[in-house]
Amino acid sequence: MNLPNRLTVLRILMVPLIVLVYIFPYAQFGIHLMSFDIGIVTLSIKDLIVLALFCFASFTDFLDGYIARKHKLITTFGKFADPIADKMLIDVMFLLLLSDRQVPVVAICLMIARDLIVDGCRMMASQNGIVVAAGSLGKLKTVLQIVTIVLLMIGNLPFELYGLPVDVFMVWFTTLVSLASGYNYFQQMKEYIFESK
């Protein structure tokens, strides 16, 4: 297994670690976590650790693609596993944020539904020996999702200090881009979806 594929697998393995750090019942074990107040926003050390893990995992997404392209290490496994690793990381983060924050439920459901539909289309295409790599709109969607999650994790700072709901705007804007990229994938793969044998 080459280095880009190892980074992809590492990103997948980091997902349960992020979940564990986020949902661990610290209080039940007598662990009191520090928190920091920045204006009207309170950030806990747990959130900062989760944010650091998420940012590192997201960086491996950029890194594995860069190395694969530069050294011509693009593989079928990478084309297939890389978008799955991205969706695992992003969707799990959105679900964690949804569990205890004011995040628009409909937007998160639409993005996750889009991912499930695209994955289903990918599987149908793969049965015909076609591996569909992430397109430019799909990559933009991933970048916007990362930025949105970071904003949500840091309590919409610094915009929250000025009463600007930039995090909520980003959630909805990212949802629109996500749906547009999903439609784009569907258009690429519809001949395999509606193929009759």
Q: State pLDDT tens for residues 42-86.
A: 999 999 999 999 999 999 988 998 898 888 888 878 877 888 898
CA dist 96 → 11, 50, 158 (Å): 17, 11, 22
What is the overall mean pLDDT for the chain? 89
Please list the helix, strand and coil fractions of the chain in percent, rounded to the nearest 5, in that order. 75, 5, 20
Instruction: Count CB-CB contacts under 10 A for residue 174.
Output: 24
- Residue 80 is predicted with a pLDDT of 79
Name the pTM for this structure: 0.90
Range of the domain at 70: 3-193
Look up residue 18 and give its amino acid. I
Structural domains of the chain, count: 1
Which residues are registered as beta bridge partners of 124? Answer: none
The H-or-E segment that residue 92 falls in is helix 76-100
DSSP state of 42: E
- Residue 196 is predicted with a pLDDT of 53
CATH number of domain containing 66: 1.20.120
- Residue 133 is predicted with a pLDDT of 63
The 10s digit of each residue's pLDDT in 16-48 is: 999 999 999 999 999 999 998 999 999 999 999
The H-or-E segment that residue 116 falls in is helix 105-126
More confident site: 64 or 125: 64
The 10s digit of each residue's pLDDT in 130-158 is: 766 667 888 899 999 999 999 999 999 99
The distance in angstroms from the start CA to the end CA of the chain is: 36
Tell me how far apart the alpha carbons of residues 105 and 84 are, in angstroms, rounded to a whole number.
Answer: 22
- Residue 124 is predicted with a pLDDT of 77
Tell me how far apart the alpha carbons of residues 25 and 71 are, in angstroms, rounded to a whole number.
Answer: 44
CB 161 within 8 A of CB 114: no
Which residues are registered as beta bridge partners of 41? Answer: 38
Q: 50-54, 123-127, 162-166 — which is least confidently predicted?
A: 123-127
- Residue 18 is predicted with a pLDDT of 97
Q: Which residues contact 190 (CB under 8 A, 6 or more apart)?
A: none
Segment 87-104 mean pLDDT = 91
Segment 163-190 mean pLDDT = 92
Instruction: Count CB-CB contacts under 10 A for residue 152.
Output: 23
Tell me how far apart the alpha carbons of residues 127 and 114 are, in angstroms, rounded to a whole number.
Answer: 20
